[in-house]
Structure 1
């Protein structure tokens, strides 16, 4: 299990990723990827799951999260506006431009991205897994993905465009605690349907920043007992 923890002011960010037993037995790498970047208390958190049927899935997911970080840095330096439609198109464009291979569909991947600039959060979702935010009784969650990868709009691919991404805005009260939670399907499939917000609210209300890393490690180990896919999660926690 690869775990990373970083504190940014009053924020704590913890990410954890673990290869699934199915890929391990086949000698395949972990096809999930996760990345974050924190500048002051502005941040980006991104997770991606490479499509298992694609030859270079592990690279596709890595390119997806790295492209998200690159885009955040361009927003922060003023090169790009913090506008939903532009960001959605650039997420696809940056991912596609990372691939030098002519066969882009060897690199298909899902994508979950959260950008936070001051109190404004923009959420982008493509494919399975989910993004959720909770703050003092308010919440947001990306919709469940019902279709499979044969429909290429459900993952980054040669045919995808910014219009394929589900998007949402969430405005934080900086005087209240909050949690941002992103995960791939290996985690989502280990949570009872309809209980996703309950889990995130539990992290917000019952798990301290100091306990977060240990709690996520235990959670991934527990999910591994009945979900054999790669598992990746990223959590941002703010305690006021």
Structure 2
């Protein structure tokens, strides 16, 4: 189509068609959708837990093979974050992927007598052992969960859905762009304020005390395209 001069082939399509560059970035932490995420390796010595993820997908449910009226339903896939990869398409687009250990929803998920969802990481799915396995999801698709050990059921963990901190619905009908993704808002902010030397925000440590955190564009824990925390620099994955 490009050789024939088709007008539908835009520069964006050309950049994506070339594929990502051979050098990718790996991070150990990432902030997106209002949640902070760490890989399992990074927080192996920490008391806090930020590796739990959940992805909600819509699917058609059939009662049987003869069912002519399928019903659309939602399914939650629970996992633990193991790696964060950022792909760069011609320095025009940057795509962040989360690699996770995914619980098998058939063998590793169940409901207890109180209605809580339990997960068992001894039963995993999509480990990458088969061509059809895909342990990666888009970072923009995930939300955060916590796994609390169930002492009455060995190897099972109660799934607790996290809530976004410091974000409240004030009911302001005059507010605009409320549906704009947080990932895009952060990106636009960096484009406008890239000349500022530092940003200040208040964080709460494990003891509940307020600590002032200074974030600079050249800090060791770099924030970029969604507030990533850079790990070991650039690595070649291809």
TM-score (normalizing by structure 2): 0.27
More strand, by proportion: 2
Higher relative contact order by CA 8 Å / sep ≥ 6: 1 or 2?
A: 1
More helix, by proportion: 1
TM-score (normalizing by structure 1): 0.27
Larger Rg: 2
